[in-house]
Structure 1
Amino acid sequence: MSPAARRTTLAILALAAGGFAIGTTEFVTMGLLPQIADGTGVDIATSGHYVSAYALGVVVGAPLIAVMAAKVPRKGLLMGLMAFFAVAHLAILAANTYPTVMAARFLAGVPHGAFFGIGSVVAASLVSHQRRTAAVAAILGGLGVANVVGVPVATLLGQRFSWHLPYVLVGVVAAATVAAIAIWLPHQPPSGHESMRSEMRALRRVQVWLALLIGTVGFGGMFAMYSYITPTMTELAGLEDRYIPWVLAAYGVGMVSGMVVSGRVADRVGVLKGIIVSLGLIAVLLAVFGTAARTLWLAVVLVFVLGLLPSIVVPLLQTRLMDVAHEGQSLAAALNHSTLNTANALGAWLGSIVLAAGWGYGAPSLVGAGLAVLGVGVALASAVLERRGPTGTAADRSTSPVGAASVV
């Protein structure tokens, strides 16, 4: 390997390390929900708000940073985002009450979307045009590794020692990522074509809003159930707490598998059709989960599938959004994160409502099934509108999920 190729590989690995840190913190809360609830003196339903707080941070931060920092040198911006992320996680050591943990989780989510959106653009710029998808997928690989290794290990540490510990370790990884970016990533000046006005033009397109709505509603269904995966598995499936990390690992393996399959789905059935079919399957899975979860082995299998199906949809949805956004590519990449984390917040909140009403741990998955069906409806409406006439989109003429690195 030449020195230049080695430096490029290390630069992409530095960005992937940031993806690993973000993926770990986003999902570890769900594995430690009972411990965090006990530590902050709230019930399980209320502790679901910690999931929503992080998601809301992403929703607010992603588009704001993408638009307002359009002309900021990318290397410095990525370092600043990850440094902020590290501080927000280390600060959780001082958080032991509901308000302070809510604030810490919100702040931790602010840099999430912008880091992935800008990091994806940077990774693609480091390699030849033919290798762009592989470079972007490497950052997505950081998320996959987080769900296979980072989340289960962090959950185990949080169960055995303190629920604060996983967040502190994520902060340490984030700090190391800042150093790695500083050393290995070359200078990344803006191209000169970015502007707030050009990015905002994407918001004039109806199909952009429909794509965002598909993600918000459709993925809200998955998060309505997965936000409460730990108490669901212990209460319905009778699984002991110590085995929860293995369940989370099964979800992570499903997630990585979905990323691999997504490109083939796009090639064979098309982007929008792939979204519709996958969301339909998610709706069916969620509809039966509350009943099937009472059988342990079947519950674990369904958790794996729950990781698989959304990970097929995310790259397809990112491709759809970038296709219909045209000149607003950077904003589109950031808005994808806002969309999926709006879904995260919406799902966790709706799940908390049915739990607080005493409907039991099978209820959130039924709520999720309803949301997934609504997502299918929006996707079908988008397809019908596209067939009726020009809407400023060429989405299904593109079958390669070039935005694959924009997962939550």
Structure 2
Amino acid sequence: MTKQLFPLALGGLGIGTTEFVIMGLLPDVANDINITIPVAGHLISAYAFGVVIGAPILVALSAKFPPKNVLITFMILFTFFNFLSTIAPDYNTLMMARFFSGLPHGAFFGVGTVVAAKLAKEGKAAQAIASMFTGLTLANLAMVPIVTYIGHHYHWRYAFGIVSLIGILTIVCLYKYLPKQEVLRTVTFKEELEFFKTIKAWHILLIVAIGFGGLFAWFSYIAPLLIHVSNFDEGNVSYLMIVAGAGMVVGNILGGNLADKKNPIKVSIFLLSSMVIALNLVFFFSSIQIISIILTFICGALAMSIGAPINMIMLNSAKHSAMLGAAFLQAAFNVANSLGAFFGGIPLFWGLDYNYPSLVGAFMALIGAILCTIFLKKYNFKG
């Protein structure tokens, strides 16, 4: 990773930490502000809703400004509202802070994706994009477990204080290390939106929402899967989540390298097809602990490896709408999160065991692979 790309990765570290750390701290938050855990769970939804709303709107408002200034502004917003979470006196204020802290999430990655691609050496764009998402993977590997531990054993507000400090450090690094670039928008916003009136644009977003949703059908219920099917002690789950995080780090690097060397749509077909196989193996063999650990790593790797190829597909397809397209992708990833958790939970509602969500995930990944195959043939996509 170059010094120029480091601030983007650091921003991804902060964003990934605040997005996922709340999940492990829900009981602490609920007890502290006198709400139930299901009500506290709305704080997760509020952040996701902020991502979906903020991605296209903030990109649209900021595209006529230099990207360095835009990214710093997004990170200032992110830092301020995470700090507000540390001092929020009640549930409503915390809910508002979570929503507003989610607004810059997709926009930061949307602008950052285009900036990273432009900073990359010839033929290394996907690896540069993967470098930016390294922060997101490291958040799952290390920061989320560490910050969750601090928040649980001391106070949950410290977790968002740490995120705020990461935000401040990111602002400093963006100012110091990110080079100045020309305004990224080359067409009017109206012309930029033209791409999203095409079936091709929504085809890409549908691949993400459904295919990537297969990951979340598995990942949303990984803790009860490991406890009730693999029969691990509850105390070991946090260590196994680190295994999944390590897989994501490796997968992110793998996806970037593959997408630079091969047609990214063919890479996506291969990775989604591999995910189908892996999630089926989870369904059949999670009761064997050593295999469960191996599959946790593999599924984490396959899940994150899709990020760089799908971003390259959007950048190469959207052309003049690349920044808005990358922002919409972040919204689609959050839709995938919601769809995967929802559909993965249906078998549990019917009283089936915790390995069944992975079967739902395999089916969603299969649909994603089929959609990729249709995209390849319909548009003769060369990458």
TM band (smaller chain): 0.7 to 0.9
In structure 2, the residue matched to 1:198 is 191
Amino acid at match of 1:367: V
Which moves more between the two structures, 358-367 or 175-184?
358-367
Distance 1:316 1:135, change over 3 A: closer
Aligned partners of 2:90 and 2:349: how far apart in 1? 20
Matched, 1:310 2:303: yes
Structure 2 residue aligned with 1:229: 222
Q: Please name the residue that 1:120 is paired with.
A: 113
Quote the residue 2:334 is aligned against. Answer: 341
Match of 1:148 in 2: 141
Alignment-mate amino acid for residue 75 of structure 2 = M
1:253 Cα deviation after fit: 1.4
Q: CA deviation at 1:384?
A: 3.7
- Could you say what secondary structure the match of 1:238 adopts? coil
1:376 maps to 369
- Whether 1:106 aligns to 2:99 is yes
Q: 2:379 aligns with which of 382, 386, 405?
A: 386
CA change 1:192–1:318 in 2 (3 A) is closer
Structure 2: gaps (5+ residues)? none
Q: CA contact under 8 A between 1:205 and 1:325: conserved in structure 2?
A: no
Q: Distance in 1 between matches of 2:266 and 2:71?
A: 35
Q: Offset of 1:229 from its aligned partner?
A: 2.6
Tell me the SS of whatever aligns to 2:5. Answer: helix
Question: How far does the alpha carbon of each residue in 1:290-339 deviate from its partner, in whole angstroms, 9 at most, with x for none?
Answer: 45333333222222111111222221111122222222111111111111
Amino acid of the residue matched to residue 218 of structure 1?
Answer: G
Q: Which residue of 2 aligns with 1:392?
A: none
Higher mean displacement: 190-199 or 315-324: 190-199
1:285 and 2:282 aligned: no
- Distance in 2, Cα, partners of 1:124 & 1:262: 15
Contact 2:130 2:308 in 1 (8 A): no
Is 1:245–2:245 an aligned residue pair?
Answer: no
The whole-number CA distance in structure 2 between the counterparts of 1:379 and 1:135 is: 23
For 2:347 and 2:155, locate their aligned partners in 1 and report how far apart those are by CA, in whole Å: 29
The residue type equivalent to 1:378 in the other structure is L
| Distance 1:52-1:277 versus aligned 2 partners, 3 A rule | farther
Residues 1:26 and 2:53 are matched in the alignment: no
Give matches, 1:118-197, under 5 Å.
118-126=111-119, 129=122, 135-191=128-184, 193-197=186-190
1:259 aligns with 2:252: yes
Q: Would the aligned equivalents of 2:217 and 2:361 in 1 still touch at CA under 8 Å?
A: yes
CA offsets 1:158-180 (integer angstroms, 9 cap, x no match) = 34333443232112211221233
8 Å contact 2:211–2:368 — kept in the other structure?
yes
Letter in 2 for 1:166: A
**3-state SS in 1 of match to 2:306:** helix
Distance 1:96 1:234 in 2: 35
Residue of structure 2 in register with 1:391 after alignment: none
The answer to whether the 8 Å contact 1:21/1:146 transfers is yes
Q: Is the 8 A contact 1:225 1:365 kept in 2?
A: yes
Is 2:39 aligned against 1:12? no
Distance 1:264 1:135 in 2: 10
Q: Distance in 2 between matches of 1:158 and 1:360?
A: 31
1:28 is displaced (CA, Å) by: 2.7
Partner of 2:288: 295
CA contact (8 A) 2:130 2:253 kept: no
Q: TM-score, normalised by structure 2?
A: 0.86
Pairwise CA distance, 1:26? 2.6
Counterparts in 2 of 1:79 and 1:331: CA distance versus 1, 3 Å: same
Unaligned segments of structure 1, at least 5 residues: 1-7, 388-394, 399-408
Cα distance change, pair 141–31 in 1 and its aligned pair in 2 (3 A): same
> Any idea what SS the aligned residue of 2:232 has?
coil
Residue 70 of structure 2 is matched in structure 1 by: 77
- CA displacement, residues 39-82 of structure 1 (integer Å, 9 cap, x when unaligned): 664456x7665444333222211111122221023222211211
Structure 1 residues 348, 184: CA separation in 2 closer, same or farther (over 3 Å shift)?
Answer: same
| Residue pair 1:32, 1:230 contacting (<8 A) in 2 also | no
Q: Distance in 2 between matches of 1:187 and 1:264?
A: 27
CA distance in 2, matches of 1:329, 1:168: 33
Relative to structure 1, the CA distance from residue 346 to residue 167 in structure 2 (aligned partners, 3 Å threshold; closer, same or farther) is: farther
* SS, match of residue 327 in structure 1: helix
**1: CA distance, partners of 2:56 / 2:154:** 37
Q: Does 1:89 align with 2:82?
A: yes
Mapped to 2, the partners of 1:133 and 1:373 lie a distance apart of 24
- Aligned positions, number: 382
Deviation at 1:143, TM superposition (A): 2.1
The 8 Å contact of residues 67 and 184 in structure 2, kept in 1 or not, is answered as: no
Q: Superposition RMSD on alpha carbons, in Å?
A: 3.1
Q: Distance in 2 between matches of 1:298 and 1:315?
A: 28
Do the aligned residues in 1 keep the contact of 2:8 with 2:132 (CA within 8 Å)? Answer: yes
